Homo-oligomer: A and B are copies of this chain.
Amino acid sequence: MARDASAAGSHSDPKDQPAWDGIPAPAVRRLCLYLRELEGLLARGRLTVSSKDLGRTLGYTDAQVRKDLAYFGHFGQPGIGYGVEELIARIRGILGTDKIWNVVVVGAGNIGQALSTYRGFPKRGFRIVGVFDNNPAKVGQRIGDPPGVEILPLDHLPEVVASQDVRLGIVAVPAEAAQQVAEALLAAGVKGILNFAPASLAMPEPVAVVPVELSLQLEQLAFQIRARSTRARAR
């Protein structure tokens, strides 16, 4: 199916798009998980790790781990394994998170505010440099404790995106406003959108959209649980 710039919902999320440049999307996903695992190992003083050890806690086979890493180069030593510290640096380099990414959040409701102050982001190389909302009651307020970023009206978006080289945006507005907000982000020059709104965003190709709608996740969990209990009943 064509996904050209004129197409309506290109909805290009990592689970749909099979691969970027020959790298399977699931492999990229796992890379992020390996990174988290490796950081834990490093904290515990581990110097090297085998593909088997790295995969075990995550529930993957050793072959899977090796294939995933081999897409990007030869990082391991036969008989030894992978150097924990080196592999962390390599994966960060692959993901691009060895440098800081500036991010804007649109929507200062509960979710937007929670994301804006989420401590996990800075730890991983993402910095929230702007929070936007058109609600006059919210504009001007500062988010967080201690107060941090000021909530700005949406028309300041282009300025902030341009001046701070922002490439990522988070949409945390109601479904009705989502498309419009996404278009504003696109126009401002953002290259990727994390979408928390319960709506499909129609975006032209150059913008990547990852839908993280929260109900969606619960729905899948619900199906999974029911499938299991049904299976159990069938036995």
Smallest CB–CB gap between A72 and chain B, Å? 11
Residue with the highest number of chain B CB atoms closer than 10 Å, among A35, A113, A120, A191: A120
A34-72 CB contacts (< 8 Å) to partner B: 35-37, 40, 56-61
Q: A63 to B218, alpha carbons, bound, how many Å?
A: 26
From the candidates B58, B126, B191, B200, name the one contacting A11 in the complex (CB within 8 A): B58
A77 within 8 A of B: no
State whether A224 and B60 are in contact (beta carbons under 8 Å apart), knowing that A97-B219, A114-B110, A115-B214 are contacts in the complex. Answer: no
A1-40 CB contacts (< 8 Å) to partner B: 1, 3, 7-12, 14-16, 20-21, 23, 25-26, 28-29, 31-33, 35-37, 40
Residue with the highest number of chain B CB atoms closer than 10 Å, among A111, A214, A219: A219
> When the two chains form their complex, are residues A228 and B206 in contact, meaning their CB atoms are under 8 A apart?
yes
Q: Taking CB as reference atom, which chain B residue is nearest A103?
A: B218
> When the two chains form their complex, are residues B1 and A60 in contact, meaning their CB atoms are under 8 A apart?
yes
**Interface residues of A, Cβ cutoff 8 Å to B:** 1, 3, 7-12, 14-16, 20-21, 23, 25-26, 28-29, 31-33, 35-37, 40, 56-61, 94-97, 101, 103, 110-111, 113-115, 117-118, 120-121, 123-124, 126, 167-168, 191-194, 198-200, 202, 206, 208, 210-231
Q: A10-B59, A29-B220, A32-B220 are in contact. List 9 more A-B contacts (CB 8 A).
A: A7-B59, A9-B58, A11-B58, A15-B26, A120-B215, A124-B215, A192-B225, A194-B218, A212-B212
Instruction: Report 16 cross-chain contacts, Cβ distance below 8 Å, ordered by A residue.
Output: A8-B59, A9-B59, A15-B29, A23-B227, A29-B216, A32-B220, A57-B200, A96-B226, A110-B113, A111-B118, A120-B213, A126-B215, A168-B222, A168-B225, A208-B221, A212-B217
